Structure formats: structure tokens, C-alpha cells
């Protein structure tokens, strides 16, 4: 079959291929006898599927495994270097990009400040320069490009990879981000909301590994949540699930949100809002600490508020605590409604100090039903700024290895140079 061809494998053959591949890839088996045991497939069938996967270079043989009597079996390993991925997480004020292997490990990274409000043309041109630079800096014998994953700080229609009416991304509405990157790099491409990718990153590489019902909450410039349901990301019908930043928390028409509504959580407790409140507290004299920063000629941001709070400036403490009350109140509703076992809190504001997390914790435990909080853990995200790009890598890996997508490329052994694979999204 020619590379890039459209050969497909019969359904029954695909099922056993996926079963054998996932057995090794997801770590439940390392040898042929173990595969027979964990999959329930016959020895002959396992041997045949393993040989196919070895011939494509998707599995590789290592040394010898533990003998159960007789000759020790050779161990099998998923070849995380069969292909590589370009990954990016675009924030409102930054670009984070990298190259990942097929195990979701970031092997090259780049971070720079960037204003997403300059629009899709200028932003994606810059992202492409960053991607080109990362590819150019790779070794000559680097694996082929298998896919691209990108996060955006707004609602994304997952099936088409386009942002839809994003509140903080002027000019981006309906822009075909996925198609543009797929065509530029001739690679299957998936685009999702940044918080959804952070939730995937936590689930696959962070503290949420093995958990089934998880909510990842981002408190950065914007506020949002990603929902893991029964071990998988729950995107909802269009991809908007978890957008808690625009829940109305006060009935006050003077609190304008960037989404066009009033009284939203994000307009009171997001990092952007905290920056505006900091400026007010500096100018009205309520915060000597912030007034001193402003006098130094610094543009005040949420980082100054969290820093001031850790220095004990009463007005900064007040701002952080009231943000914590509002976020905690909405999250208590989320906990009652959804009953997760784990709540992971990340984003630049949440990571800046303990006081916000402490307040959020206190409100959730006091306002949620006892049954919903009995086994609930609330933790801070520890993956740092890579969480979004790690999630982007796993999004692409999960899509490439979803049976319906795998069926379209496994017969030729590689999804490289197949941009059309990204055009239909499968994951729930
Ligand atoms: Zn809003």
C-alpha cells in the first residue's frame, strides 16, 4: 500500500489490533503471554497482531521479560518515538508551544508573551514561526510529524476546530484554526479550549491519573473549568461544557464582563478583573502596597494583588479573599451538581499564593453537601505552565488512536501527511 493511501482494515481485525496495541501502550501488558492473559485473545491472534505492529514500528521489542517457567518472553514497548507532535496552548497574553513524543512527553518547548487580541492572522503567523523554529532545531533524523494539537482561551467547536464567539479574542469568531494548521503542516490537527486541555493534561500526566470524576478549574486572566467524566473529557454537545467563568454571581449591571454580560464570576474574580481592582485600590488610597507599585510606574496586574496579599497588605488580602469567596461559591454548586472525587485548581492567579486556594477550600467544604465532599480532594495543579501543552499532546494521541481514526491509517503504519484525519473529531 502506498504511503498516504486509504487502505482500511476489516472491523474484526481492527478490534484485535486496538486491543493488543492499547494493552501495551496503556501499560497493562508487556509480553505476548501477558497480552493473551489481559485481552482474552488467542495466542495465535496476539502473535499475528504483535508482528503487524512490530513491522510498522509502532511496537518495538526490548529485552527479556520474567519467565513463568521455560524460555523468558521478549518484552514489548510502545514506540513513543515512531512519530512526534507539534503542540501549543495560546493564552490571552502568551504563546506556549512545543514538540511532544507519542507518550505525551514535551521534548522541546517555547514560551513568549503575546497578545491574542491582535487577531488570528498575526497570532497564527507567529505560532507558525515558533513551530518552524522548533522543527528546524530538531535533529536531522527526528521522527515524522504525526499530528498537531492547539488550545485556545475561549469556547471551541471541537468538531470543526473553530472558536465560536470567544469573549476575549476579537476577530477570532469562526476562524478555521484547525484547517489552517492542518494545511500548513499537512498533518492531522485538533483544536480545543485551553481549560479542556489542562484537564486532559492532569488526567493523563498529573494528580488526576486514574481518577474518574474530576473538575479542573483554571483561575488565570479568565476563569473556566474542564470536566472529566468516567475517566474521559466531557466536552458537551458543542464543546462548551464547564464554562463557569460566565455564571452570574452578582446582580449588578455596573459589573461589565468581557463576554458582554454583567455580573459574571470572571468579571469579579478573574485575573483581568483583579488587575482593574488593584488599580482602583492603588488610586483610592486603600492599598499603600499597590499605590507604591503604581508609583514605580508598573502596570498593576493580578500578580501584584497576590504578592501584596502575601506581604500582608490588608486591601490585597481583601481582594484575594473576596475572589476566593466568589469562586468557592460557584465551585460548591459544581461539587453538589457533579460530585467529583478531585478538584484540581490551576492558572496563574491560583498558583500565585495559598490564600486564594485556602478560601476556595473553606467555602466549598462549608457550602457543599456532606456526601459530595466526603471523599473530595481539592489540590493545586503541579504540572506548571506545561499542563496545557501536555494535554494538547494527549488530545492528539487519543484522537489518533481512537478506533475510528486508527482504522483509517493503521494499514499503512503511519498517520503522517494525512491532514484529513483531523477533520472529524471522535472523542466525547
Ligand atoms: Zn461573562
CA of 243 relative to ligand 1 center, distance in Å: 10
CA of 149 relative to ligand 1 center, distance in Å: 27
CA of 346 relative to ligand 1 center, distance in Å: 20
CA of 262 relative to ligand 1 center, distance in Å: 7
CA neighbor of 222 nearest in space, from 300, 277, 167: 167
Q: Biggest alpha carbon distance in the chain?
A: 81
Query: How would DSSP label each residue in 386-403?
Result: GHHHHHHHHHHHHHHTSH
CA of 261 relative to ligand 1 center, distance in Å: 5
Q: Are 77 and 32 in contact (CB under 8 A)?
A: no
CA of 383 relative to ligand 1 center, distance in Å: 27
Query: ∠178-8-43 over CA atoms, to 5°?
Result: 120
pLDDT value of residue 352:
76
> How far apart are the C-alpha atoms of 393 and 86, rounded to whole Å?
8
CA of 168 relative to ligand 1 center, distance in Å: 10
CA of 246 relative to ligand 1 center, distance in Å: 4
Q: What is the DSSP pairing of strand 94-100 with strand 84-90? A: antiparallel
CA of 87 relative to ligand 1 center, distance in Å: 28
CA of 306 relative to ligand 1 center, distance in Å: 23
13 Cβ contact list (under 8 Å, min separation 6): none
CA of 289 relative to ligand 1 center, distance in Å: 29
- pLDDT by residue, tens only, the chain of 428 residues: 344 445 567 777 889 999 999 999 988 999 999 999 999 999 999 999 999 999 999 999 987 666 767 777 889 999 999 999 999 999 999 999 999 999 999 999 999 999 999 999 999 999 999 999 999 999 999 999 999 999 999 999 999 999 999 988 999 999 999 999 999 999 999 999 999 999 999 999 999 999 999 999 999 989 999 999 999 999 999 888 999 999 999 999 999 998 999 999 999 999 999 999 999 999 999 999 999 999 998 899 999 999 999 999 999 999 999 999 999 999 999 999 999 999 999 998 887 778 899 999 999 999 998 898 889 999 999 998 899 999 999 999 999 999 889 989 988 889 999 999 988 655 44
pLDDT value of residue 18:
93
At 345, give phi and psi (nearest 5°): -110, 125
CA of 326 relative to ligand 1 center, distance in Å: 14
CA of 39 relative to ligand 1 center, distance in Å: 48
Residue 376 CB-half CA count within 13 A = 25
User: Residue 96, SS3?
Assistant: strand
CA of 245 relative to ligand 1 center, distance in Å: 6
CA of 154 relative to ligand 1 center, distance in Å: 11
Q: What is the DSSP pairing of strand 59-64 with strand 162-163? A: unpaired
CA of 333 relative to ligand 1 center, distance in Å: 18
Q: Are 77 and 60 in contact (CB under 8 A)?
A: yes
pLDDT value of residue 66:
67
> How far apart are the C-alpha atoms of 125 and 164, rounded to whole Å?
20
User: Residue 17, SS3?
Assistant: helix
CA of 406 relative to ligand 1 center, distance in Å: 39
CA of 241 relative to ligand 1 center, distance in Å: 15
Q: Are 415 and 147 in contact (CB under 8 A)?
A: yes
CA of 308 relative to ligand 1 center, distance in Å: 26
> How far apart are the C-alpha atoms of 397 and 102, rounded to whole Å?
7
User: Can you read off the three cell numbers belonging to residue 118?
Assistant: 491582535
Q: Are 95 and 155 in contact (CB under 8 A)?
A: no
> How far apart are the C-alpha atoms of 249 and 423, rounded to whole Å?
38
CA of 258 relative to ligand 1 center, distance in Å: 6
Distance of CA 158 to the CA centre of its chain: 13
Amino acid at each position: 500500500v502506498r504511503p498516504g493511501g486509504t487502505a482500511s482494515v476489516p472491523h474484526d481485525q481492527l478490534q484485535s489490533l486496538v486491543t493488543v496495541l492499547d494493552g501495551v501502550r496503556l501499560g497493562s501488558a508487556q509480553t505476548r503471554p501477558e497480552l493473551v492473559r489481559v485481552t482474552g485473545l488467542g495466542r495465535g491472534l496476539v502473535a499475528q497482531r504483535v508482528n503487524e505492529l512490530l513491522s510498522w514500528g509502532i511496537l518495538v521489542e526490548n529485552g527479556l521479560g520474567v519467565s513463568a517457567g521455560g524460555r523468558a518472553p521478549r518484552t514489548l514497548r510502545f514506540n513513543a518515538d515512531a512519530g512526534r507532535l507539534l503542540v501549543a496552548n495560546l493564552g490571552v497574553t502568551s504563546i506556549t508551544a512545543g514538540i511532544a513524543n507519542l507518550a505525551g512527553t514535551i521534548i522541546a518547548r517555547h514560551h513568549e508573551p503575546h497578545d491574542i487580541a491582535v487577531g488570528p492572522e498575526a497570532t497564527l503567523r507567529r505560532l507558525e514561526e515558533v513551530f518552524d523554529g522548533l522543527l528546524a532545531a530538531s535533529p536531522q533524523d527526528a521522527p515524522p510529524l504525526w499530528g498537531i494539537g492547539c488550545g485556545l482561551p475561549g469556547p471551541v467547536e471541537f468538531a470543526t476546530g473553530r472558536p465560536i464567539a470567544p469573549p476575549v479574542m476579537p476577530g477570532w469568531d469562526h476562524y478555521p484554526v484547525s484547517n489552517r494548521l492542518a494545511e500548513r503542516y499537512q498533518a492531522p490537527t485538533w483544536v480545543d479550549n485551553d481549560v479542556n486541555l489542562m484537564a486532559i493534561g492532569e488526567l493523563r500526566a498529573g494528580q488526576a491519573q486514574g481518577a474518574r470524576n474530576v473538575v479542573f478549574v483554571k483561575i488565570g486572566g479568565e476563569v473556566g473549568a474542564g470536566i472529566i467524566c468516567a475517566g474521559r473529557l466531557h466536552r458537551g454537545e458543542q464543546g462548551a461544557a464547564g464554562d463557569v467563568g460566565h455564571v452570574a454571581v452578582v446582580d449588578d449591571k455596573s459589573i461589565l464582563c468581557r463576554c458582554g454580560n454583567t455580573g459574571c464570576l470572571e468579571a469579579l474574580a478573574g485575573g483581568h478583573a483583579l488587575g482593574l481592582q488593584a488599580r482602583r485600590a492603588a488610586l483610592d488610597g486603600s492599598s499603600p502596597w499597590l499605590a507604591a507599585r503604581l508609583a514605580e510606574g508598573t502596570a498593576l496586574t493580578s500578580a501584584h494583588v497576590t504578592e501584596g496579599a502575601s506581604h500582608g497588605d490588608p486591601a490585597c488580602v481583601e481582594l484575594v479573599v473576596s475572589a476566593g469567596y466568589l469562586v468557592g461559591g460557584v465551585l460548591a454548586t459544581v461539587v453538589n451538581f457533579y460530585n467529583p472525587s478531585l478538584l484540581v485548581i490551576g492558572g496563574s492567579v491560583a498558583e500565585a499564593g495559598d490564600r486564594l486556594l485556602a478560601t476556595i477550600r473553606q467555602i466549598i467544604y462549608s457550602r457543599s453537601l456532606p456526601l459530595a465532599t466526603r471523599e473530595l480532594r481539592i489540590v493545586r495543579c503541579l504540572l506548571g505552565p506545561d499542563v496545557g501543552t501536555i494535554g494538547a499532546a494527549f488530545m492528539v494521541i487519543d484522537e489518533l488512536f481512537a478506533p475510528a481514526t486508527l482504522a483509517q491509517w493503521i494499514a499503512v503504519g503511519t498517520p503522517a501527511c494525512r491532514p484529513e484525519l483531523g477533520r472529524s473529531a471522535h472523542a466525547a
